């Protein structure tokens, strides 16, 4: 076990909100992940701390979000009546309005700010906010289950302090809101590995979205076709993300580690498992660069709990028993979960589907090496 200092940002208030019984985003996953970490003894490690958090301040949120949008979020949050304002993306099926909405979103953003603050000001080596990673929120519009862009406002605070940031997004969905925020700066390198926007939400994140002005070359996208498996996901990371991270050599790495890339996620079409997920996180750990991790997507609750437990173990250099603890199994079995193991075997997609996905990822990698690599490596 390494002597590094780590912090898990966790508030009991995370579970006090509800997007609706029929909404695919279930906040219970935070507690499920927390309980699994606890069952493995990961919440009492000698060099880790659990930190509560406060809601993000208006000053922090206004570093990215429009004041009219923040005002409308607060207004709707206080209302007992159903409300909608589609100019701001509020009240549709993806981004419902519910009482306490602003409190929920500001608390998640505050948790991410606390994570970066601990790394920046108090010298923590890694910090994890599982209730963060809302990468679809735009300056004045909610989108894709995201109301406030916690990553952007936290990174803005770091950039204002002169830090150079690497943002790596492993969610199945393109990190469009984060890309938008840093599209014209060379202080933040954004890299997103995601399911292709040709047919998948949010319809962005193509290889030719490379940034503009000073930011040209600092926006990197690897769109992946359905049925991309572990080997292809690792290939995208190893041939694109890894060399760019090494060359950029950031002051802090911020990762969005959504688990909706997993092959049994109900909303996505990739075929990733814990195998490539853990390999990538282990490689990030080995950079020995201060690291902030944010939860993101994941709509199979046990997949998400397993993924984030593994991520927290990797941050703390702890190896876990591949069998779930018996006490945890006893807890989840009455809830209908049949899971018994923590780890998945490496998965290969069916041959025909795999050929198409492999051709696509190879084409993306070649494009990025032709456009991004000369642009960014020539500046460093």
Residues in a beta bridge with 355: none
Peptide bond into 378 cis (omega under 30): no
Q: If pLDDT is split at 50, 70 and 90, which confidence band does 380 have?
A: low
Q: Give the model confidence (pLDDT) of 115-138 as tens digits.
A: 999 999 999 999 999 999 999 999
pLDDT at 1 over 50: no
232-243: buried (b, 16+ CB within 10 Å) or exposed (e) per residue? bbbbbbebbbbe
The H-or-E segment that residue 111 falls in is helix 101-121
316 to 41, 49, 128, 290, 301: CA distances (angstroms): 12, 11, 11, 13, 23
Kindly write down the DSSP assignment for every residue of 327-340, as one continuous string.
HHHHHHGGGT----
What's this model's pTM, rounded to 2 decimal places? Answer: 0.97
Per-residue pLDDT, 81: 86
Q: Whose CA is closest to 75, among 107, 110, 101, 108?
A: 101
Helix (H/G/I), strand (E/B), else coil: 121: helix
Q: How many CB atoms lie within 10 A of CB 314?
A: 23
Q: What is the pLDDT of residues 328-367, one digit of tens each?
A: 999 999 999 999 999 999 999 999 899 999 999 999 999 9
End-to-end CA distance of the chain, in Å?
A: 34
CATH numbers and ranges of domains, the chain: 6-377 (3.40.800.20)
How is the chain split among helix, strand and coil, in percent rounded to 5? 40, 15, 45
Mean pLDDT score across all residues of the chain: 96
Q: Rounded to an integer, what distance in angstroms lies between the CA atom of residue 77 and that of residue 215?
A: 36
Averaged pLDDT for residues 209-237: 97
Residues 276 and 119: their CA atoms lie apart, in Å, by 26
pLDDT above 70: percentage of residues in the chain:
99
Q: Return d(Cα 332, Cα 348) in angstroms, integer.
A: 29
Q: Which two tokens stand for residue 260?
A: 């909706």
pLDDT at 82: 82
The count of C-alpha atoms lying within 13 angstroms of the C-alpha of 236, restricted to the half-sphere facing its C-beta, is 30
pLDDT at 220 over 80: yes
Burial of 336 (0-12, 13-18, 19+ CB in 10 A): exposed
Question: Is residue 373 predicted with pLDDT exceeding 60?
Answer: yes
Instruction: Tell me the mean pLDDT in the region 149-165.
Output: 98
| Residues that are catalytic | 136
**pLDDT tens for residues 25-77?**
998 999 999 999 999 999 999 999 999 999 999 999 999 999 999 999 999 99
How many whole angstroms separate alpha carbon 373 and alpha carbon 379? Answer: 10
What is the edge-to-edge ordering of all strands in the sheet holding 188-195? 48-51, 6-9, 126-129, 291-294, 252-256, 165-169, 188-195, 219-224
């Amino acid at each position: 076990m390494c002597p590094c200092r780590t912090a898990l940002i966790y508030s009991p208030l995370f579970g006090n909100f509800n997007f609706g019984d029929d909404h695919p985003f279930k906040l219970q996953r935070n507690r499920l992940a927390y309980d699994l970490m606890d069952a493995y003894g990961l919440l009492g490690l000698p060099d880790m701390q659990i930190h509560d958090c406060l809601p993000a301040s208006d000053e922090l949120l206004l570093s990215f979000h429009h004041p009219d949008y923040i005002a409308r979020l607060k207004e709707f949050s206080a209302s007992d009546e159903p409300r909608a304002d589609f100019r701001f993306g509020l009240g549709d099926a993806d981004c419902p309005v519910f009482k306490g909405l602003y409190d929920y979103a500001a608390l998640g953003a505050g948790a991410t700010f606390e994570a970066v603050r601990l790394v920046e000001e108090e010298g923590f080596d890694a910090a994890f906010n599982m209730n963060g990673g809302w990468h679809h929120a735009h300056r004045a519009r909610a989108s894709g289950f995201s109301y406030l862009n916690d990553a952007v406002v936290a990174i803005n605070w770091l950039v204002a302090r002169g830090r150079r940031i690497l943002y790596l997004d492993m969610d199945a969905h393109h990190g469009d809101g984060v890309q938008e925020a840093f599209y014209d700066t060379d202080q933040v390198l954004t890299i997103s590995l995601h399911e292709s926007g040709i047919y998948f939400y949010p319809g962005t994140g193509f290889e030719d979205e490379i940034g503009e002005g000073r930011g040209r070359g600092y926006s990197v996208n690897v769109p992946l076709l359905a049925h991309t498996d572990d080997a292809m996901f690792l290939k995208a990371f190893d041939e694109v993300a890894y060399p760019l991270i090494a060359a950029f050599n950031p002051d802090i790495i911020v990762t969005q580690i959504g688990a909706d890339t997993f092959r049994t996620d109900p909303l996505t079409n990739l075929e990733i498992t814990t195998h490539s997920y853990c390999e990538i996180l282990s490689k990030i750990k080995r950079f020995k660069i201060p690291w902030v991790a944010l939860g993101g997507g994941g709509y199979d609750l046990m997949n998400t709990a397993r993924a984030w437990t593994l991520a927290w173990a990797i941050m703390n250099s702890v190896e876990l028993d591949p069998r779930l603890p018996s006490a945890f199994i006893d807890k989840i079995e009455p809830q209908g979960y049949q899971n018994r193991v923590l780890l998945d075997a490496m998965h290969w997609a069916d041959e025909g589907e795999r050929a198409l996905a492999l051709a696509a990822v190879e084409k993306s990698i070649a494009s990025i090496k032709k456009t991004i690599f000369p642009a960014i490596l020539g500046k460093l």
